[in-house]
Amino acid sequence: MNLIPEIEWTIVLLHLRDLLFAFVLALPIGWDREQHERTAGLRTFPLVAVAACAYMLVGLQVLTSTDAEARVMEGIITGIGFIGGGAILKNVVKGEGFVSGTATAASLWLTGAIGVSVATGRLEIALILSALTFFTLRIMTPAKVFMGPREDK
């Protein structure tokens, strides 16, 4: 009986590469949220991307059917939606009278998609998601302020 499993170092390095890619691609999003002093920031976003990537990597390694892999992805999507809901609820409970945190919640959800994209070997999707999210948060936020307050607030 072998108590210590043999480690395939090439697989370890490939997974380490993927986890680092997910981490790095989430950093600009987390940095932006940190700059705007949002509920989630520089620590949360990379952790979400790495966790989503890790769960998907494990699912791809141990499961044998695409249906099972799809269920892993579904669980990741649902779980990250739950985290995002917390970003919204934290602000509503404060009694500020309006809903905020939706951009942070959507960014968290999208960061999970970055992690899943990296894990499934779709780095081009992860790069595009990271760039579009950063662009949306950096460019559209000042544009929203420039447009002024909405009447329905």
User: What are the tens digits of pLDDT across the range 84-114?
Assistant: 887 776 555 555 566 777 888 899 999 999 9
The answer to whether position 3 is within a domain reads no
Task: Tally the residues of the chain.
Answer: 153
Half-sphere exposure of 100 (CA within 13 A, CB side): 14
Q: What is the pLDDT of residues 128-153, one digit of tens each?
A: 999 999 999 888 767 666 676 665 54
The answer to whether position 51 is within a domain reads yes
Q: State the pLDDT confidence band at 6, using cuts at 50, 70 and 90.
A: confident
Cα–Cα dist 26/56, whole Å: 16
The answer to whether position 50 is within a domain reads yes
At residue 82, the pLDDT reads 85
Residue 90 structure tokens: 């934290």
The sign of the CA dihedral 106, 73, 85, 115 is negative
> How many domains are contained in the chain?
1
Structural domain of 77: 18-139
Global pTM reads: 0.83
How much is the mean pLDDT over the chain? 86
The answer to whether position 153 is within a domain reads no
Instruction: Give percent of the chain above pLDDT 90.
Output: 47
At residue 17, the pLDDT reads 97
Q: What is the pLDDT of residues 19-62, one digit of tens each?
A: 999 999 999 999 988 887 777 788 999 999 999 999 999 999 88
The answer to whether position 86 is within a domain reads yes
Q: Which long-range contacts does 53-61 make (Cβ < 8 Å, 24+ apart)? A: 53/18, 53/19, 53/21, 53/22, 53/115, 53/116, 53/118, 53/119, 54/19, 54/115, 54/119, 56/115, 56/116, 56/119, 56/120, 57/15, 57/18, 57/19, 57/119, 60/119, 60/120
At residue 56, the pLDDT reads 94
